């Protein structure tokens, strides 16, 4: 039995292949301007790596921002459901999932079966998301991969009062012009994102264990800021970016078995 989970987000597309109950391969690549083509490229790349063809697939579940455009999918399931199931696979004791993606963020409460109990989502603006961090990194003239390291060098912090991406960028530029160290500004940005995320958590209630998924989970400074504000230790899976696609593949396996 060979199944695939495809998660097409605003910034990246992920594919996870499961064969006979085991994850055999995964792929992460940029989405670009066309969700359907991104899904096809990612799926073809994953299959070619394992010397497989699309005709070998028994079932495909699509999720994410671009799931409607994926023609090969046998079923389309929301990313909230898929991230919950993927997180449970990483650690069966997880009950709260923080997912920070390219253009939205969400907090999901799940039960011991990985089913969604409650959730809160910010999808109205890019505040506190991967895109927000990209814009702030550009304003600070550093690579997004260097933002966490810059923040961790700070000996003090500065308050970023705006979470709107456009206004926050202007605020950062103004703070740089005032001569404030970039390290302090970077730390302030991470603190602001953490505070906004905690607001989402309060809406659904915190139940441990807590896991963070999505590409932003690789930002160690943000994870540290969240740990401090929540007073807990957030689990970061080995590859947090594939949680949605993994959950989709697991659900494809269940659909096929049913």
Per residue in 93-125, pLDDT tens? Answer: 999 999 988 878 899 999 998 899 999 998 666
Query: In degrees rounded to 5, what are phi and psi of residue 8?
Result: -105, 110
What is the side-by-side strand order in the sheet with 12-19? 22-30, 12-19, 2-8, 59-63, 75-76
Rounded average pLDDT over 54-72: 94
pLDDT tens digits along 129-181: 788 889 999 999 999 889 999 999 998 888 888 777 788 889 999 999 999 99
Neighbouring C-beta atoms of residue 51, cutoff 10 Å: 7
Domains of the chain in sequence order: 1-91+238-258 (3.30.420.40), 93-236 (3.30.420.40)
Rg (CA), the chain: 19
Q: Which two tokens stand for residue 90?
A: 């990483």
């Amino acid at each position: 039995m060979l199944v695939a989970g495809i998660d097409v987000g605003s910034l990246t597309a992920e594919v996870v292949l499961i064969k006979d109950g085991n994850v055999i391969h995964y792929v992460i690549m940029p989405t670009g301007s066309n969700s359907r083509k991104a899904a096809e490229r990612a799926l073809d790349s994953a299959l070619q790596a394992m010397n497989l063809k699309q005709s070998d697939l028994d079932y495909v579940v699509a999720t994410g921002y671009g799931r409607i455009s994926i023609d090969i999918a046998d079923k389309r399931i929301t990313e909230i459901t898929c991230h919950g199931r993927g997180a449970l696979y990483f650690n069966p004791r997880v009950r709260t999932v923080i997912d920070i993606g390219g253009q939205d963020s969400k907090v999901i409460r799940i039960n011991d079966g990985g089913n969604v109990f409650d959730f809160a989502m910010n999808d109205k603006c890019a505040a506190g998301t991967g895109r927000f961090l990209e814009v702030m990194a550009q304003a600070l003239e550093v690579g997004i991969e260097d933002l966490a390291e810059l923040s961790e060098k700070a000996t003090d912090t500065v308050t970023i009062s705006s979470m709107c991406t456009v206004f926050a960028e202007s605020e950062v530029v103004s703070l740089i012009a005032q001569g404030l160290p970039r390290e302090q500004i970077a730390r302030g940005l991470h603190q602001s994102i953490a505070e906004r995320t905690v607001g989402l958590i309060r809406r659904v209630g915190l139940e441990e264990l807590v896991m963070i998924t999505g590409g932003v989970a690789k930002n160690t400074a943000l994870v540290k800021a969240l740990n401090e504000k929540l007073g807990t230790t957030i689990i970061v899976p080995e590859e947090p970016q594939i949680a949605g696609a993994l959950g989709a593949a697991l659900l494809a396996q269940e659909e096929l078995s049913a």
